Structure 1
Amino acid sequence: MTAASPSTRRLALLLAGLAMFGPFSIDTIFPAFLLLGERMQVDQVAVQQTVSVYLLFYGLMSLAHGPLSDAFGRRRVILGGLVLFIAASIGCALSRDLTTLLVFRALQGVTAGVGVIVGRAVIRDLYHGADAQRLMSQVSMIFGIAPAIAPIIGGWILLGGGDWPLIFWFLVAFALVLLAATGKWLPETHPVEARTPLSTGALLRSYLQMGTNPRLLRLAAAGAFNFSGIFLYIASAPVFVMQHLQLGQGGFAWLFIPTIGGMTMGSFLSGRMAGRMTAQRQVGIGFSLCAVSALVNLAYVLAVGQIALPWAVLPIFIGGVGMALIFPILALAVLDMYPHQRGLASSMQMFIQLMINTVVAGVASPLLSGTPLHLALGYAGFFAIGASFWFWERRCERRREAAASVA
């Protein structure tokens, strides 16, 4: 770690906070879906587009955050993104029709990914090997609180008598705190001499190279589809919580606390495992837990007529543990493939994940959220696809090792 760096604990807290304002932008508005539909006189399918539009632009802009930080420095890009996010959140709070709201939700999506994407590059700038895995796991563990508490905060705001715009004013306040903390405590980890000039032609060639790299695509797809199993329930939270579990606006905690509790436990275990077992074994354990989670979930849904707590969310807790064991290994493996373009590699990885998430939120969730069985099948299906990409990559890795030993 450089002399100018903050303590590891402070850095973990700051990077986790920067990663939080992305999920906060999605999850805090879930309890307001019904109210938004009433106020703007649109159905719930239209309201769901506030998530889909956000994720679409989040994913598209994720291709730019990393290269911008490679060219202009990590700190400057994060600060600029926070300023624009604050402006977009103010615009959302002042919107009075769905079209205007969607425009500012798109602008939120353009800026919200800067914290998590550039933050990963910051970690890899400062640390290597097991140390990088430990810090990545610490950030994930703290960051994991965000999707759990965001809908709870949104519910409290509404239950306290607030209207839906107050949720966006909360996001403005949260981003202002992050802006002040970043300005005070985040060092510049990417020195001028190491920066890559921003060239459209070179950028397109780099993305083409990465986008056609089979190993990067396998690793990114393994992580993205694995997360999609969990994200299917997150995107379907209003239907799952209020219709299937028959809870009210304050009931989102029953889904999000077990979900994120599992992810937090998995991140803690990943930090403890760093340097004590091989990365391949850790990922194998993670996928095994996901498989157990999917099978238990399907068995429970098929066995009962009406799902109920706590059994309806226990499998998701187990899946969260498995996913968090897998994530840091795959994320660091992608970054290590391009040591001189970590920001670009982080952007590419995030773009793949977010494009898949956009399809999950905009297509899979509306199609599958109608019944608990369809959700459980989708959950299992996404885990199976993620595991397939991982085992494909392991097979290719063994072939590369065999070829190298012969040579």
Structure 2
Amino acid sequence: MKIPYLLLALILASLNAIGPFSIDTYLPAFPAIQDSLGASNLQVQQSLTAYMLPFSIMMLWHGAISDALGRRRVILVGMSLYLLASLLCCFAQSIELLWLGRALQGLSAGSGVIVGRAIVRDLLDGPAAQRLMSHVAMVFAIAPGVAPIIGGMLTTQWGWRSIFVLLAIMSAALMLLVWHKLPETLPVEKRQSLHPLHLLHAYLEVFGNARFVLLSVAMSSLFGGFFLYVMSAPVFLMQHLHLEATEFGWMFVPLVSGMVLGSVLSARLAGKFHAMGTVKLAYGIAGSAMLINLALNLLLPDTLAARIPQLMLYTLGMSTAMPTLTLHALDMFPARRGLAASCQGTIQTLIMAIAAGLIAPLLWGSTLSLAWGAAASFLISAAACAYALRGKRG
């Protein structure tokens, strides 16, 4: 069964969107969850870590299992578990039960993200793969902007538990869509063994490749400059910029617009502009945005006009670079793309979990400290990317 290009892009983007919806939708509900469950602000914040640590660990296995058993099966099982986990969160009567539900969501949500990347490389090569990855990113980019707005509205109208009802409905709809429309993209003759020694050798090969690890760190840290603001959104927007739970769109809509524009630019440049030239252009845009952000935080008081537009420019640069960096890393292991995508995702999510649980709370004191944190994350990314590309040239 051949799937139309637009439908394939929509399915892969929707599977990717489970991740940001799992994180961003309930950010505006933090105060309500805190009051409802009698938890502290830090305990509610740790529900992010409870989600992201299992998410990163299980990412090691989603791709490898899909290399052995096929792509569809892993996605369907993952979405089934995610549905049950969302219902557990919905009915949680204590912060501990919420942590458990979030951990189960983390174990299962990565199946769509990781296996989706492998599906792109199963079907397409070169500029065509970059275009599909960019189009997937374009649709996926809408999720972080829409999710907190929806979350704020649901919290105001029906309470924070309705957010997890929405996540359950989303996972059920994706299960049906994958079951009826997505064909298996990995032929039986190309599947890999799940023998422990065979897997151990494969993981050691991937994690032992310095250029692969550097590229994964570069992607993670580049995204981290944006992610620190996402994880700090309740404090950044409600305490420093004095917005309400229903006004998160003032930050997320511009940032998502930048991500969409970056994905459009990446797709336009595919096949017309050298891949590494695209990466250099993207880093130039993102670096300029970080310099402007630091300058405005040093010189001007906290207002929407002084804190948000430059972040949109940063996400434009970030999204321009991401498809090329992702595919470049996966192409280093053509026979094990699922496992390579797992390793890539694990590195990224571990860094994000550390950012959410440890680094972001340390930067909440002021908008200037957040700006310094984002700038540092970008510099780490630029250095890792430069070393990785230098290694390629060598």
- Per the normalisation by structure 1, the TM-score is 0.96
Give the Cα separation in 1 of the matches to 2:10 and 2:393. Answer: 38
Of stretches 267-276 and 207-216 in structure 1, the one that deviates more from structure 2 is 207-216
Query: Of residues 207, 213, 223 in structure 2, which corresponds to 1:217?
Result: 213
Q: Read off the aligned partner of 1:56 and give its amino acid letter.
A: L
Give the Cα separation in 2 of the matches to 1:365 and 1:205. Answer: 36
1:292 aligned to 2:326? no
Residue 369 (structure 1) shift: 1.8
Give the Cα separation in 1 of the matches to 2:92 and 2:346. Answer: 28
5 Å matches for 1:28-107?
28-107=25-104
The answer to whether the Cα contact below 8 Å between 2:34 and 2:44 also exists between their aligned partners in 1 is: yes
Query: Of residues 107, 112, 117 in structure 1, which corresponds to 2:109?
Result: 112
Counterpart residue number, 1:303:
299
Once the two structures are superposed, residues 255-275 of structure 1 have per-residue CA deviations (whole angstroms, 9 ceiling, x without a partner) of 111111111100011000000
Unaligned runs of 5+ in 1: 400-407
Residue 317 (structure 1) shift: 0.4
Query: Of residues 144, 148, 151 in structure 2, which corresponds to 1:147?
Result: 144
Counterpart residue number, 2:345:
350
Once the two structures are superposed, residues 167-214 of structure 1 have per-residue CA deviations (whole angstroms, 9 ceiling, x without a partner) of 100111111111111111111000111111211222122112211111
Residue 396 (structure 1) shift: 2.0
Residue 100 (structure 1) shift: 0.9
Counterpart residue number, 1:136:
133
SS of corresponding position for 2:193 = coil
1:383 aligned to 2:378? yes
Query: Of residues 215, 221, 239 in structure 1, which corresponds to 2:235?
Result: 239
Give the Cα separation in 1 of the matches to 2:330 and 2:67. Answer: 13
Give the Cα separation in 2 of the matches to 1:393 and 1:18. Answer: 29
Give the Cα separation in 1 of the matches to 2:360 and 2:204. Answer: 30
Counterpart residue number, 1:366:
361
SS of corresponding position for 1:247 = coil
Alignment RMSD (CA, Å): 0.8
The answer to whether the Cα contact below 8 Å between 2:297 and 2:306 also exists between their aligned partners in 1 is: no
1:156 aligned to 2:153? yes
5 Å matches for 1:198-347?
198-305=194-301, 307-347=302-342
SS of corresponding position for 1:196 = coil
Counterpart residue number, 1:126:
123
Counterpart residue number, 2:176:
180
Q: Read off the aligned partner of 1:263 and give its amino acid letter.
A: M
SS of corresponding position for 1:139 = helix
Q: Read off the aligned partner of 1:348 and give its amino acid letter.
A: C
Q: Read off the aligned partner of 2:154 and give its amino acid letter.
A: I
SS of corresponding position for 2:305 = coil
Give the Cα separation in 1 of the matches to 2:216 and 2:53. Answer: 18
Residue 311 (structure 1) shift: 2.9
Q: Read off the aligned partner of 1:204 and give its amino acid letter.
A: L
Residue 395 (structure 1) shift: 2.0
Residue 398 (structure 1) shift: 2.4
Q: Read off the aligned partner of 2:246 and give its amino acid letter.
A: G
Give the Cα separation in 1 of the matches to 2:2 and 2:217. Answer: 33
Residue 48 (structure 1) shift: 0.2
SS of corresponding position for 1:337 = coil
Give the Cα separation in 2 of the matches to 1:396 and 1:25. Answer: 36
- Per the normalisation by structure 2, the TM-score is 0.99
Counterpart residue number, 1:197:
193
Q: Read off the aligned partner of 1:159 and give its amino acid letter.
A: T
Of stretches 178-187 and 134-143 in structure 1, the one that deviates more from structure 2 is 178-187
Give the Cα separation in 1 of the matches to 2:252 and 2:322. Answer: 19
Once the two structures are superposed, residues 103-158 of structure 1 have per-residue CA deviations (whole angstroms, 9 ceiling, x without a partner) of 11100000001111000100000000000000000000000011111111111112
Counterpart residue number, 2:161:
165
| 4+ residue runs over 3 A deviation | none
Give the Cα separation in 1 of the matches to 2:51 and 2:232. Answer: 16
The answer to whether the Cα contact below 8 Å between 2:62 and 2:342 also exists between their aligned partners in 1 is: yes
Residue 71 (structure 1) shift: 0.5
Residue 392 (structure 1) shift: 1.1
The answer to whether the Cα contact below 8 Å between 2:211 and 2:392 also exists between their aligned partners in 1 is: no
> How many correspondences in the alignment?
394
SS of corresponding position for 2:331 = helix
Give the Cα separation in 2 of the matches to 1:188 and 1:123. Answer: 12
The answer to whether the Cα contact below 8 Å between 2:226 and 2:311 also exists between their aligned partners in 1 is: yes
Q: Read off the aligned partner of 2:321 and give its amino acid letter.
A: I
Give the Cα separation in 2 of the matches to 1:394 and 1:304. Answer: 37
